[in-house]
């Protein structure tokens, strides 16, 4: 458990990568804060609506009734046709991929559909006038992937990005979720930030010793634009953690962010590995849900897994305090950010440029991609 505490506290916050970057990826040099090259920014069709966005953890959802979720200003309702009209809490539908979604507004007279029921035929029935919905009435697509549900409207990719070792037989996994009082951009930048652990997490793994052997990586996509950034480094824990774990060697870390909502990290020491994956769901312009997946090849008993989750939640709550102190998104905040920066923040600046193309899913941006017109039957 001592080792578990050490490895976990070293890596739980910096939520990003596992495998070493490929040789074909290139390092990029430090840029002036406001003059970073933006030629690799995301094209306009990379809307969050067309990317797979995590909308829930399967085992946390009661599938005997409709499940509601908010993606920005877009209210969605999800149901599974593998369920009967039952009050039993069924966590695992008979057909794992038989999930359907529509806008959580009845196209008849505007009722909330999450108050409806799932019929024995697997249809969603509005409680106001009995209007029924099935897979022909879908708005967007829902996919079950690595224990979580993802939603996209006319998705660019066939599946969400994978988490390394999620299905490996020697690794176990668990899930957490927490709502942060900050916008998606702040949460994304926080996930790739090397410097805040010394201050925000000084009661945990934070150390005044700077990270060493820092390398930043940019991964061009086949279309010629960047959709991800990577970061590798070595990190020395504080003396208290060193004594607790009887380990005085730095951990080896690799982190990655995949535009627009996904990041993952790997922390390694000896033959132990911890992967922490983060999926971001914008709930409002200044509120974001964190779906965190822990994957590790140690501390695998039921009790040890709960300890890992408790440690993770503790550090997430430290982040929660800082996220509440972030200024809401505004033109002034945008103009102010990165007027000053540190010399080793290339990856943050690259990510910041990528996020310039992120649009909060407001009613206006949702309308750009069409609407669901369902005729009464």
Domain segments of the chain as ranges: 2-45+162-357, 52-152
- What is the CATH superfamily name and number for domain 52-152? Rieske [2Fe-2S] iron-sulphur domain (2.102.10.10)
CB 245 within 8 A of CB 3: yes
The single-letter DSSP state of residue 260 is T
Structure confidence by residue, pLDDT tens digits, 151-169? 999 998 999 999 999 999 9
Q: Give the residue with greater pLDDT, 35 vs 30.
A: 35
What's the confidence (pLDDT) of residue 11?
Answer: 42
Check residue 127 and give its pLDDT.
Answer: 97
CA 231 – CA 344 distance, rounded (Å): 11
CB 216 within 8 A of CB 229: yes
Give the range with max mean pLDDT: 23-37, 93-107, 318-332. Answer: 318-332
Q: Give the range among 202-206, 229-233, 363-367 with minimum mean pLDDT.
A: 202-206
Residue 149 parent element (H or E): strand 148-152
User: Is the model's pLDDT at 171 over the cut of 70?
Assistant: yes
Q: Which residues contact 219 (CB under 8 A, 6 or more apart)?
A: 21, 25, 226, 227, 228, 229, 230
Confidence of residue 377 (pLDDT cuts 50, 70, 90): very low
User: In this prediction, what percent of the chain has a pLDDT beyond 70?
Assistant: 75
User: Which one-letter DSSP state was computed for residue 374?
Assistant: -
The reply to whether 2-45+162-357 and 52-152 are identical in fold is no
pLDDT, tens digit, for every residue of 133-149?
999 999 999 999 999 99
Residue 196 in 3-state DSSP?
A: coil
Q: Rounded CA gap, 151 and 317, in Å?
A: 27
Q: What is the pLDDT of residue 349?
A: 94
Higher pLDDT, 74 or 23: 74
Output the six-digit token pair for 102: 């529509």
**Whether pLDDT at 62 is above 70:** yes
3-state DSSP assignment of residue 2: helix
The HSE-up count of residue 54 (CA atoms within 13 Å, CB side) is: 27
Give pLDDT tens digits for 266-284. 988 888 899 999 999 999 9
pLDDT in tens, 203-212: 656 667 788 8
Rounded mean pLDDT, 214-233: 81
- What average pLDDT does the chain have? 81
Superfamily of domain 2-45+162-357: Naphthalene 1,2-dioxygenase Alpha Subunit; Chain A, domain 1 (3.90.380.10)
User: Is the Cα dihedral 205, 207, 212, 216 positive or negative?
Assistant: positive
pLDDT on residue 47 = 87
More confident residue, 13 or 211: 211
Q: Which residue in this structure is represented by tokens 């709960």?
A: 306
Residue 314 has pLDDT above 90, yes or no: no
Return d(Cα 374, Cα 134) in angstroms, integer. Answer: 11
pTM confidence score: 0.83
Yes or no: say if 127 and 134 are a contact pair by the CB < 8 Å rule. Answer: no
Q: Which residue is associated with the tokens 């990041």?
A: 263
């Amino acid at each position: 458990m001592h080792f578990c505490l050490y490895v976990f506290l070293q890596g739980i916050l910096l939520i990003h990568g596992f495998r070493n970057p490929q040789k074909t990826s290139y390092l990029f040099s430090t840029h002036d804060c406001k003059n970073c090259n933006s030629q690799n920014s995301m094209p306009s069709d990379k809307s969050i609506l067309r990317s797979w966005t995590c909308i829930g953890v399967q085992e946390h959802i009661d599938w005997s009734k409709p499940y509601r979720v908010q993606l920005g200003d877009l209210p969605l309702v999800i149901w599974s046709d593998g369920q009967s009209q039952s009050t039993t809490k069924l966590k695992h539908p008979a057909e794992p991929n038989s999930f359907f979604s529509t806008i959580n507004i009845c196209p008849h007279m505007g009722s909330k559909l999450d108050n409806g029921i799932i019929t024995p035929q697997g249809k969603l029935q509005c409680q106001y006038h009995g209007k029924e919905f099935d897979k022909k009435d879908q708005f967007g697509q829902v996919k079950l992937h690595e224990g979580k549900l993802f939603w996209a409207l006319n998705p660019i990719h066939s599946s969400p990005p994978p988490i390394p070792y999620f299905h490996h037989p020697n690794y176990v996994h668990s899930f957490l979720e927490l709502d942060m009082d900050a916008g998606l951009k702040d949460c994304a930048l926080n996930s790739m930030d090397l410097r805040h652990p010394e201050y925000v997490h000084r009661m945990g793994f934070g150390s005044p010793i700077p990270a060493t052997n820092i390398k930043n990586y940019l991964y061009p996509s086949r279309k010629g634009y960047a959709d991800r950034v990577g970061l590798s480094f070595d990190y020395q824990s504080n003396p208290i953690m060193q004594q607790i774990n009887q380990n005085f060697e730095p951990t080896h870390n690799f982190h990655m962010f995949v535009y627009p909502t996904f990041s993952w990290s790997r922390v390694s020491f000896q033959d132990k590995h911890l992967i922490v994956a983060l999926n971001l769901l914008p709930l409002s312009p200044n509120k974001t849900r964190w779906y965190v997946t822990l994957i590790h090849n140690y501390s695998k008993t039921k009790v040890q897994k709960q300890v890992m989750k408790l440690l993770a939640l503790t550090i997430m709550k430290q982040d929660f305090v800082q996220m509440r102190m972030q200024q809401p998104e505004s033109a002034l905040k945008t103009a102010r950010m990165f007027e000053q920066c540190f010399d080793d923040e290339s990856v943050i600046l690259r990510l910041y440029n990528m996020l310039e193309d992120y649009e909060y899913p407001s009613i206006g941006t949702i309308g750009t991609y069409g609407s669901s017109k369902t005729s009464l039957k």
